[in-house]
Structure 1
Amino acid sequence: MTQNTPLPFLSPSSPPSPRPPHHLQDVTHRVLSAAQLRARGVSAAQTSAQCLPGGPWQHLLPGVYLLHSGPPGGQERLHGALLYAGRPPASSRRTPPEPSDAGFGEAMVTGLAALALHGFATGPDLGELHRVDVLVPCTRRLRSTRFVEVVRASELPVPVRLAGVPVAPVERALTDAVAGLGDAEAVRRLLTEAVRAGHSEPAAVVRELSAAKLLGRPAVVDAVDALLAEGRAVAEARLYAMVREHGLSEPLWNVTLRLPGGPELGGVDAFWPDQAVAVELDTRAPRFGAPQQGQRPRNRDPEHVEDPRWSAYAAKRDHLERLGVTVVHLTPRKLREAMDQQATVVRTALMAANDREPAAYLVVLPR
């Protein structure tokens, strides 16, 4: 038996006391797979003896054991679900695994449990969850059992590491959570928080929902409208902050441009009339024609490939630039991840105004 990882058994006179779960690092010594127990020198017969009625251990899931007799906590269920879903197929099992082997394989947490790990406040806490969703390759022959719900994917996303375990990215976790929810209000709260708390951008969320064919669900339709409205408000707030925090001159906000006596040229989010510089936020989301999972975009910019309105955006921008207006195109993601850089782009456009030919005279109206 490995010396540095003592196991709480083999002493029937002093069974271990149940402990409330704390950090996941502690859970790794309380929830182990059969393979990990064998790697620590514990035979199958010894394991079975410890799991007898009244014994100090219990059989948590197929091939997974809880090394105390009390009810499993949220972190213990999470760890056990990953061990169950991550065990290799019988035809390719390694013998023996290293004692330190996490045993998760390609499995990752998704759904509401993943959102809890991402820090979502509107979903249930890990301790309140009665089900743990785990994402595995579609080739795995694995059944959902007890509190574990197996979710399959033809192409797995790249997981992030949170609390020591692999977790699906926010967009995939949201999609898997929404797939299991019928409450429109619960769906709306989750999608709204994803944008409001800065976990993701609307385009990325809607793209993932579209790939999963969830956009047509009644519980999702109104929630997506709320998501896009929230995304627009958050992006505008970031644009205001960028102008003020980086010392840019105050523009005219949310205006429509038109030629004198002519048709409207379209609306912009910010406009500096003296310098003929406009900023336009791209807060569109791919409602239609989103590429399926694994499909490569046909355009270099994945935010534009699936939205037919991009041609209208491009036409408006071309028309304004022919009239001498410099149009700076910003996305919510750029404002969130590189605000300093975007402020530099706008400042450069304003400073370059004196080196350009004067723009055509335009009428500016509130939008």
Structure 2
Amino acid sequence: MNHNTPLSPRPLRHLSDVQRRVLTTAQLRAHGVSAAETTGKCRPGGPWQQFLPGVYLLHPGPPTSEERLHGVLLYAARSSLADPVPAVPAQPGAGAPHGPLPYTDAMVTGLAALALYGFTSAPGLSSLEKIDVLVPRTRRLRSTGCARLVRTPSLPDPRLMTGVPVAPVVRALADAVAEVPDAAVVRRLLTEAVRDGHCEPAVLVRELNQARLLSRPHVVDAVDALLAESRAVAEDRLYRMVREHGLPDPVWNVDLRLPGGPYLGGLDAYWPEQAVALELDTRAPRHDEDALWSEYARKREQLERLGITVVYLTPKKLRDCPEQQATVVRTALMASLDREPAAPVEVLPR
């Protein structure tokens, strides 16, 4: 019997080709292959080989990247093919699900997951010495061979990529960053995630914070560079929105101050005649998330007490629906005709 020979008594029609080449001890036993027969086939020069504890390749050559992925998942998963888990929807462009998968409570994460998502800044699967697998904290397994276990108290919902359950991008990024000491690589990974629309900066920073990675100086530097670049991109989209949707020109990047009085805050755009202020909400939560939100709320309350309408736009909304955001601003400008005049303020360049 070789990897092309159907096993019995249970058919393998529900398996993909790679799943027929990578099987566990329990799966082989379910198909009538005894432990002694498995051991015999895995002797030097034999047709099979043991890949990981309890996981076998039904051919003698080196494993492919796809076989390595399925092998580490079989090693880490709770169940065998007797108890498959439902397929989950694929990410856009990932192809259709391939049916039920034999992996309960295990999913690929870290650099291997990013490679499956198509990150050009992540190493190719064939060059990865270790494949990270996310499992519940209670799993009594050890990292071994090319399988590196990453434990978590609560598993996220996986995505299906090329027939493999994969952790969401932000979780995969956090697990990758935890293992990458190179500041330049970390910066490239984070930048690609945001530039290509995999996630928003605030969501990414929140995940890094929860993973306690923002205490590492090279990660903090990468995050600071990412946030600065993301703000510059958002500002460019804001300028384009005003120009392309025919909004009146505001004064850009100004500070407001009461005449002879206290500082009121900085704004990305201000329309003095209509007393409409606009600010990009680019908050990225860290340990001081509550303080950041309090500062935003304080500024808004203070300006609105003076009769100034405050509009907050997020970079995501500017990217995804600029016309809708232009309508929000235009409505605020038009509504100024029905309001009492705002208190006088000094408008100063930043």
SS where residue 308 of structure 1 aligns?
Answer: helix
Aligned residue for 1:347?
330
CA distance in 2, matches of 1:279, 1:252: 10
The answer for the alignment partner of 2:56 in structure 1 is 65
Matches within 5 A, 1:145-224: 145-224=144-223
Task: Give the drift of 1:337.
Answer: 4.8
Map 1:116-131 → 2, pairs under 5 A:
116-131=115-130
Contact 2:206 2:286 in 1 (8 A): yes
Give the drift of 1:262: 3.5
Q: How many angstroms apart in 1 are the aligned matches of 2:125 and 2:169?
A: 16
Structure 2 partner of 1:74: 65
Bigger shift: 274-283 or 353-362?
A: 353-362
Residues 1:51 and 2:71 aligned together: no
Letter matched to residue 35 of structure 1: A
Question: What is the percent sequence identity of the aligned residues?
Answer: 67
Contact 1:268 1:278 in 2 (8 A): yes
Distance 1:97 1:193, change over 3 A: closer
**Residue type of the alignment partner of 1:188:** R
The 5-angstrom pairing of residues 235-314 of structure 1 reads 235-288=234-287, 306-314=289-297
User: Could you tell me how far apart the structure 2 residues matched to 1:45 and 1:241 are?
Assistant: 70
| Contact 1:36 1:101 survives alignment (8 Å) | no
Residue 50 to residue 267, structure 1, CA distance change in 2 (3 Å): same
Q: Which residue of 2 is the match for residue 19 of structure 1?
A: none
Gaps of 5+ in 1: 11-23, 290-305
Given candidates 69, 75, 89, the residue that maps to 1:84 is 75
Residues 329-338 or 126-135, more deviating:
329-338
TM-score (norm 1): 0.80
Residues 219-259 of structure 1 deviation map (CA, whole Å, 9 limit, x = unaligned):
22322221221232233233334434544344332222233
Contact preservation (8 Å) 1:136, 1:150:
yes
Q: Deviations over 1:190-234 (max 9, x none)?
A: 222222322222222222222222211232232222122123223
Moved more, 171-180 or 239-248: 239-248
Shift of 1:149: 0.4
Structure 2 counterpart of 1:8: 4
Residue 75 of structure 1 deviates from its aligned partner by: 2.1
Show CA shifts across 1:43-94 (max 9, x none).
Answer: 4444334333223322211222223222112222112111111133xxxx78
Contact kept in structure 2, 1:75 and 1:127, CA below 8 Å? no
Q: Which residue identity is paired with 1:354?
A: L
Deviation for aligned residue 1:98: 6.6
Any stretches of 5+ residues in structure 2 without a counterpart?
7-14, 86-98
Pairing 1:30–2:21 present:
yes
Distance (Å, rounded) in 1 between the aligned partners of 2:159 and 2:238: 29
Give the aligned partner of residue 360 of structure 1.
343
**Structure 1 residue aligned with 2:91:** none
Relative distance call for 1:79 and 1:245 in structure 2 (3 A) is: farther
Q: Secondary structure at the match of 2:332?
A: helix
Kept in 1, the 8 Å contact 2:303–2:310? The answer is: yes
Does the aligned pair in 2 maintain the 1:57–1:68 contact within 8 Å? yes
Number of residues paired by the alignment?
Answer: 330
Q: 2: distance between equivalents of 1:241 and 1:134? A: 43
1:21 corresponding residue in structure 2? none
Superposed displacement of residue 40, structure 1: 4.4
TM-score, normalised to structure 2, is 0.83
1:336 deviates by 4.2
Q: How far apart are 1:9 and its partner, in Å?
A: 4.3
Partner secondary structure for residue 328 of structure 1: strand
Give the deviation of 1:173 after TM superposition: 1.2
